[in-house]
Chain A
Amino acid sequence: MATHAEAADHHHGPPIANQSSRVDSRVLGMLLFIASEVMLFGAFFTAYFFVRVVNGIAWPSEGIELPVFVAGVNTAILVTSSFTVHWALQSIKRDNRAGMQAGLVLTLALGFVFLLTQAREYSRVGFAPSDGAFGTIFYGLTGLHGAHVFVGLMLLTFATIRAFRGHYSAAHHHGVEIPGIYWHFVDVMWIVVYTTIYIL
């Protein structure tokens, strides 16, 4: 009986990459990407900490009232979208294609509503990024997060198109799983942003 080692001798081209079952390389790639994202957000939160805690400026600045309720509703929308993307993945794991498609479409819709609500909030909030450190930090953090929501929506759009074109199965659904991980990360970051910027 031939060993794997002997079988490798008959293989043409570059050697077959060794891969442990510890973590899939595609998931590892997304993990490393998220780790870099955490550092990026960390830099912005450090700026927030220095402005608000170390320098002790008023938060929010005098005469400004943050739309806590609207942002709270937006938070609920984003959190709901995490449930729908989770539903989509659980559905395809059970070979329920309709459930996956419905979950992805709902997630996309909720994500777009979140971005539109944030854009509307920007237009009515009454201050600009140039209006002192508070404005800079507010727009910096929420804008950075909004950009991530936009990227997440792009990933989910591709996943949704593929879902409607018959891709994915119970055994092969990385194209949904990886955007799903990213989407949950974006949600986690929003919880942190919303709590620190709007609530505390």
Chain B
Amino acid sequence: MQNPFRSEAEAFRFLIRTIAYFAVIAIAALIHTWLGLAVFVVATGVIVWWLFFRGDAERPIQTGPARHGGVGERRILVVANETVGGATLRDRIRERSEGVRAEVLVVAPALNTPIRHWASDEDGARAVAKTRLEESLGLLRAGGVNARGEVGDAEPLQAIEDALRTFGADEIIISTHPEGRSQWLERGVVSAARERFTVPITHVVVDVDADREDIR
């Protein structure tokens, strides 16, 4: 369900719908009290159904970033958190950067517990993500990759959207734990990202145990 007061335009649309809703009920009630009650029940039921179930059957609208960077430059957005330092991921980034003028932005979503998220207690999560990110960037730069990084929103799709707005990207690499251990895969983050963004997305699976020597 979307907040109807997120912007003035949405609040205005909400007002128009409110007028229509009450007008229909008032007219029916003026004809007969029980008709008014029936219209109220039906209209309210339709609205509740529309609010909570309208999005289920719809495919999300795909969005793509505006082009950033110079001609001939490949901009790669990497989204990873616990796997951000994995050798498999670094190899894939190097592979995609070879032979082209590439700029890499690594975004590490600040994963947080739901309670801390609702309490806006993000400092710890951001500090952990920042530490991992800096280690990973150091290794990437040592390997000759032109990379920078930032800590992103806890929700990976939101973190991607935020990064696309400021960085743009020609491709996105999403790094996760293997199937069965990855919460992102369990929540369908990769498939949701493919539905939501027009940018080509590569999914890299990093087995942290196998890459342990690269991760502190």
Contacts and interface: CB of A to CB of B under 8 A. Distances in A.
A155 interface: no
Interface string B121-133: 0100010001001
A21 B15 contact: no
Interface string A1-33: 111111000000000001011110001001100
Contact of B22 (A89, A185, A192): A192
Contacts of A195: 22, 25-26
B65 interface: no
B168 to A, nearest CB: 15
Given A18-B126, A21-B165, A177 B7 contact: yes
Given A5-B149, A18-B126, A20-B162, A187 B15 contact: yes
Given A82-B12, A181-B11, A199-B29, A3 B5 contact: no
Interface in A58-116: 79, 82, 85-86, 89
Contacts of A51: none
Interface stretch (B50-58, B150-158, B194-202): B150-158
Contacts of B137: 3
B8 interface: yes
Interface size bucket, B side?
35 or more
B97 interface: no
A12 B192 CA distance: 39
Main secondary structure of the interface of B (DSSP, over half): helix
Contacts of B5: 30-31, 34, 181, 184-185
Nearest to B103: A1
A152 interface: no
A71 to B, nearest CB: 13
Given A2-B148, A4-B150, A200 B36 contact: yes
A72 B22 CA distance: 13
A4 B149 contact: yes
A151 interface: no
B162 A21 contact: yes
A193 to B, nearest CB: 10
B158 to A, nearest CB: 6
Given A3-B137, A177-B7, A188-B14, A79 B19 contact: yes
A93 to B, nearest CB: 9
Contacts of A2: 148
A79 B18 CA distance: 11
A191 interface: yes
A199 B26 contact: yes
A82 to B, nearest CB: 6
Interface of B: 3, 5-9, 11-12, 14-15, 18-19, 22, 25-26, 29-30, 36, 110, 122, 126, 130, 133-134, 137, 146-151, 153, 158, 161-162, 165
13 contacts: A1-B148, A5-B149, A18-B126, A20-B158, A22-B153, A27-B7, A30-B5, A89-B9, A176-B8, A181-B8, A188-B18, A191-B19, A195-B22
Given A21-B162, A22-B153, A31-B6, 11 more contacts: A1-B147, A1-B148, A5-B151, A20-B153, A30-B5, A86-B8, A89-B9, A176-B8, A177-B7, A184-B8, A192-B18
The 3 closest A-B pairs by CB, nearest first: A184-B11, A180-B8, A4-B150
